[in-house]
Structure 1
C-alpha cells in the first residue's frame, strides 16, 4: 500500500509542479510498476480525486499550515492532499489508517520532523472537520468554489455567462465520473451485432444517451484489449464528439477538410459516414499526432482519409473552395472536459482564454475560403466559455454575410441548450462532455 501511495504522490508532483498531463504520467508510472490491478485502481482513484478536489483540499490545508503552506515540502504537501482526499471523499480506508499510512510515508521519504507535521495537521483536521467553514457567509462564489472545488475566477465566469442555476449545474457536471463510450464503425458491422458481441465478451453495456452509434460501457475489462476494438468494429469516443460528424451533411464521394484533426475521432467518424468513399483531407500541426490518427485509420479499415501537416491559422491557397464541408474543431480552453482532465482547472487562467480566441478566429477565416458554395463549416469546441463559442460565431457571421447559421437538433435532453440563433451548447454530465456545435452554411 505504501508503494501505491508513493506512486500517487509522484504523479501529483508531475501534474501540479511540472504541468504534466495526468493521463500520460499516471499511465506511464502504473505500466512500469509491479502493482496489482486492485492497487492500480486505488492509485487512479486517489490521483484523479485529489486533482479534482485540489482547490478545496488546499483551502483546508491552508487553515492548518497558515503562512507555511507555500514553504511546505512538496512531497509532504502531496501526501497531505491525498490523505485529506481519502478522509473527506472516500470511505474505502478507515480515517486513522489513512493518517498512519501518511505519517509513515513522510517519515520514509522526507524526515521524522516532517512526519510529525503530517501527524499534527491530519489529526487536527479529524478533530475539527465537522465544524469547518471555509468561505465568507453570503459570498456565493467562495461557497461554490469550495463546494465543487473550482478556482473562483472560473465560478464567476460561468455565473456571468449562464446565471447561477446553470453555473452550479456546470460545476456539478464537470465533477461527474466520466463514462466510457464507444462508437460503432458502420463500415464493419451494424449496431445490434456489435452490441451482442460485447455482451458475449462479458461487458455490461447500455445504449448511448443521445447518439445512435454510441454504446456505454458500464463494466468490463479494458476495452482496448477487446478483439472488437483491435479489429476496428468500435472506437472510444465521447458522445458529445459523436454529434459532430453527422451534423455536417456529408455524403458519399464528398471532399471534406478536417483542419484540426487530432486525435482523429471525428475524422474517422466522417470517413465511416462517407462509407469509405470520397476524400477526407485531415490536417494537424504536429506530425506525431498525425501518426496516431493513421494508426486508428488503419485499425478501422478506412482508406478515404489522407493526412498532412498544416497550421490551420495560416491560409493555404491550394485548398481554396476545395471542400464540400469543412470541420474546424478548434483548439480551445477545454473547460468542457474537466471531468476527464481535472488539471485544466489549475493550468488555465482568464488571460489565456482571450489569447485563444484570436487563434480560433484565424482558423475560422481560413475555413471560409476553403468551403464551396452551399457547403458547410462545422465549428465545434470542448469548452463552455461563450467568448470561444457564441461570440465567435456572431463575429464570423458579421464578417462573412454570405454565411448563415443553420439550426442543429440532437433530440430533447435536459443537458442541451438550443440557442435561438441555431447553435447548441451541451452541458457536462456523467454521459457527455461539455461541448459547443455550430453549423454554418455558405450561401454564395
Structure 2
C-alpha cells in the first residue's frame, strides 16, 4: 500500500470514539514517527500492511493521527506527558484527545486515566497560550515571529488545521465539468476552486486512487497552491522546458498539460526512484513529451547551458508551508536545518539558472512561507546576476487561501552574462 492510497476523512470531524484496536494503531504509528524518526506515510504503510481494515476505520485512524501531530504539544500538555513518552503513555494521550473532542474515552483493557478537573484546568490554560493551542513548537514559533512578524499568528493557526483535498484536472484527457460528472458517478463529490481553474476540491470521503477516473489518468491529486505555482511557469506548446527539481513530478505533469504534449519537457532530479515514479505517472496521464534525466554531476547542468525557454526550480526547502499536510516534520526538524537548506537553495539557483536561454524565464519556487528561503534568496541572486531581471513574485498564504503555503518568483534572462 502506498500513502496516496489511504482513505480520507477530509475535514469531517470524528463523531465516535476509536475502537481499542484502532487506538493502539494510532499509538504505534505515533511512536514510529516520533521515536524512530520515520516519515508519517512510511509509518502508515508499515502498520497498515497486511491488515484488513474497513475503509472508514482506516480513515478514522489517519484523521486522528494527523490531528494529534498537527497539535502534538497541545494534546501532550492536556495529557500531562512529554512527547517522548508516547510509546509508554499513549493511552493517556488518546484519552486527552477524545476528551478535547468531546468523545467518550476508548474502552482499552489497560489505560492511563486522566482526572477531569485537572484536564479542564489545563485546557483553559492552553487557550491562553496561542502558540501552544495551535500546536506549534517553540523553535518554529520563534522563527515564524522573526520572519513574518504580525502575520505569523494567522499562518500558525492555519497550519494547525486539517488539509483539504484537491485534484488537478488533466486537460490532456478531460475537462473539469466532465471529470466532476464522472467522479460523481463513482461516489466522489467535488466542487470548483475559485482562482485555480485546473483544480477541483473533493468534498466527500473517498478512496480516490481506486476510481476508474484515476486509473485512466483523468486527474492527479495535487494541492491547489501547488497547481498555482505550476501555472506560473506559463509553458506553451513547442517550448523547451526544464523542471530541474522534479521529484515525483506533480508540477512536471501540470506543465506537460500546458504544453499540450508538444515541445520538449525535461524532468530532472538527483534521485532516480523519483524519476521512475514520474515515468509511470506520465504514461498514465498521456504526457508523452516528458523526458527524465538524473543529475549525476555538475556536467549534466553545463550541457544544457542557455537551452531552455522556461526553467522551474522547485528547490529543496523547509516545507514550512505544508505542515498541515506533513505535520510530522515540525517534530523532526530543528532550526539548525534551515541555514543548510538556505545555502543549498543558493547553490542550486546560481548553478541551474545557467540553463535559461536569453529572453527565457526562470521560476524559483518553494513550499515555504519564510522570506529567508524566498524573496531574500531571489534578491541575493539578482544582486549577483544582473543579467537577470525581476518580473514578479507571490506568496501563497495558508491563512488567506486555505491551500498549502508556497512561494514563486519569476525572473527573465536579459543577456548571456553580465
- Alignment map for 1:202-351 (pairs within 5 Å): 202-310=187-295, 316-351=301-336
Q: Which residue of 2 is the match for residue 112 of structure 1?
A: none
Q: Which residue of 2 is the match for residue 57 of structure 1?
A: 75
Q: Distance in 2 between matches of 1:381 and 1:39?
A: 34
TM-score for both structures, normalised by structure 1 = 0.84
Alpha carbons of 1:149 and 1:265: their partners in 2 closer, same or farther (altered >3 Å)? same
For structure 1, the 5+ residue unaligned runs are 108-114, 408-422
- 1:130 matches 2:130: no
Q: Which residue of 2 is the match for residue 419 of structure 1?
A: none
Alpha carbons of 1:319 and 1:134: their partners in 2 closer, same or farther (altered >3 Å)? farther
Q: CA RMSD in A?
A: 2.2
The one-character-per-residue Cα deviations of 1:208-249 (angstroms, maximum 9, x if unpaired) are 132111111101421111111111111111111111232123
Other structure's SS at 1:283 match? strand
Other structure's SS at 2:411 match? strand
The one-character-per-residue Cα deviations of 1:364-393 (angstroms, maximum 9, x if unpaired) are 011221100010111111011211111100
Alpha carbons of 1:186 and 1:136: their partners in 2 closer, same or farther (altered >3 Å)? closer
The one-character-per-residue Cα deviations of 1:344-369 (angstroms, maximum 9, x if unpaired) are 11111111111101111111011221
Q: Which residue of 2 is the match for residue 36 of structure 1?
A: 54
Other structure's SS at 1:324 match? strand
Question: Does the CA-based 8 Å contact 1:211-1:239 persist in structure 2?
Answer: yes
Q: Which residue of 2 is the match for residue 383 of structure 1?
A: 368
The one-character-per-residue Cα deviations of 1:294-315 (angstroms, maximum 9, x if unpaired) are 1110000111011111168776
Q: Distance in 2 between matches of 1:253 and 1:135?
A: 60
The one-character-per-residue Cα deviations of 1:73-120 (angstroms, maximum 9, x if unpaired) are x522222222212211x23x31xx33x52xx2xx4xxxxxxx5xx23x
Alpha carbons of 1:70 and 1:360: their partners in 2 closer, same or farther (altered >3 Å)? closer
- 1:18 matches 2:36: yes
More divergent stretch after superposition (380-389 vs 314-323): 314-323
Q: Distance in 2 between matches of 1:311 and 1:209?
A: 41
Tell me which of 72, 90, 94 is aligned to 1:82: 94
Q: Distance in 2 between matches of 1:172 and 1:251?
A: 38
Question: Does the CA-based 8 Å contact 1:209-1:431 persist in structure 2?
Answer: no
Q: Which residue of 2 is the match for residue 411 of structure 1?
A: none
TM-score for both structures, normalised by structure 2 = 0.89
Alpha carbons of 1:131 and 1:439: their partners in 2 closer, same or farther (altered >3 Å)? same
Deviation at 1:343, TM superposition (A): 0.9
- Higher Rg: 1
Other structure's SS at 2:257 match? helix
Q: Distance in 1 between matches of 2:224 and 2:84?
A: 43
Question: Does the CA-based 8 Å contact 1:283-1:308 persist in structure 2?
Answer: yes
Higher relative contact order (CA 8 A, sep 6+): 2
Question: Does the CA-based 8 Å contact 1:55-1:151 persist in structure 2?
Answer: yes
Q: Distance in 1 between matches of 2:60 and 2:123?
A: 29
For structure 2, the 5+ residue unaligned runs are 1-18
Q: Distance in 1 between matches of 2:83 and 2:188?
A: 46
Other structure's SS at 2:398 match? coil
Alpha carbons of 1:79 and 1:243: their partners in 2 closer, same or farther (altered >3 Å)? same
Runs of 4+ in structure 1 off by over 6 angstroms are 133-137, 312-315
Other structure's SS at 1:181 match? strand
Other structure's SS at 1:251 match? coil
Question: Does the CA-based 8 Å contact 2:77-2:122 persist in structure 1?
Answer: no
Question: Does the CA-based 8 Å contact 1:262-1:284 persist in structure 2?
Answer: yes
Q: Distance in 2 between matches of 1:401 and 1:209?
A: 37
Q: Which residue of 1 is the match for residue 179 of structure 2?
A: 194
